[in-house]
Structure 1
Amino acid sequence: MKTVKGDLVSLALQNEFDVIIHGCNCFCTMGAGIAKLIKQEFPEAYKADLETQKGDKEKLGSISFADKLVNNKRLIIVNAYTQYHWRGNGQKADYEAIKSCFKKIKEQYSGLSIAYPAIGAGLAGGDWKVITRIIEEELAGENHTFVEFSK
């Protein structure tokens, strides 16, 4: 896993990556954290989220995606359903769902440059050390980058 400091959305708009991933809940909100920024900058990703069934627990561990042309280059934005809801305190990140999402990402986007924030470790309250191990295992052999938020 490579690590860079910066803003995932800004770096994506500079064509640094082919695929960006962010964690979503299963209620089609994208109302906080990086999901809110993704929704604002890439409304196509929010539209893809809205095409899934709101509140469906079966979405956990699945992905939806949208394509956007950025400076004449295809960018794929992946909505990874890594938590069921967003309410309350404590851990909302589902490690099995994270594992499933990253497995699907490798199956669909192998060979592309992939980037993500600290999925599941921010507002979702997961342990980044655990999540890092999952990502490294599922994306073994891939060109993937953790973008540690920094202004």
Structure 2
Amino acid sequence: MSGIRYVRGDATDPMGSGSRIVAHCSNDTGGWGRGFVLALSRRWPQPEEAYRRWYRGRAGNDFGLGAIQLVPVDQDLYVANMVAQHGIRSAARVGRPPIRYDALAQCLAKLAQHASRLEANVHLPRIGAGLAGGSWDVIEPLIQQHLADHGISVTVYDLP
């Protein structure tokens, strides 16, 4: 069984070589402008552009909770836009946080298929545990189950 590796660093500058996927959670409202996505947009314009097109065309595509969009950003480097938040944090001040663990599990299962096909390692911040309001104690086992237990190398980045 593979584990999850934790490092200090920037998930938008994934370590190593070969195929790599930088994964993150996004919301189902088309919003892009807070949290980790700002770092993504500073590094590469393609993930935001693709996400906004995907959202605008949602009536005719698979956009929604549990969906994933793989966006090439460089040679052997991809960003996975994973829709695992219902709404945004500011709208959820009372009641349930935006993260949807069932949608995240669906996204991670799809991410595993892409990573296996591309023979890619997965790199991510502590997805779902920031603005999405989720618990890392719930999210980490999902990553283990859907990625690491299937032999996919996973690196989680904490900013220095």
Structure 1 residue 58 displacement after superposition: 5.7
Q: Which residue of 2 aligns with 1:4?
A: 7
Equivalent runs, 1:59-138 vs 2, <5 Å: 59-69=64-74, 73-86=75-88, 87-89=91-93, 91-110=97-116, 111-138=119-146
How far apart in 1 are the matches of 2:6 and 2:18? 13
Q: How many residues align?
A: 146
Equivalent runs, 1:51-62 vs 2, <5 Å: 51-54=53-56, 59-62=64-67
How far apart in 2 are the matches of 1:16 and 1:4? 19
8 A contact 1:95–1:131 mirrored in 2: yes
How far apart in 1 are the matches of 2:27 and 2:144? 22
Percent identity between the two aligned chains? 25
8 A contact 1:116–1:145 mirrored in 2: yes
How far apart in 1 are the matches of 2:34 and 2:18? 24
> Residue deviations 1:46-76, cap 9 Å, x none?
111012235969610111121122xxx3210
Q: Which residue of 2 aligns with 1:147?
A: 157
TM-score (norm: length of structure 1): 0.86
How has the CA–CA distance of structure 1 residues 114 and 53 changed in structure 2, closer, same or farther, with 3 Å as cutoff?
Answer: same
Q: Which runs of 5+ in 2 are unaligned?
A: none
Structure 1 residue 39 displacement after superposition: 2.1
8 A contact 1:25–1:84 mirrored in 2: yes
Structure 1 residue 14 displacement after superposition: 7.7
Structure 1 residue 16 displacement after superposition: 8.2
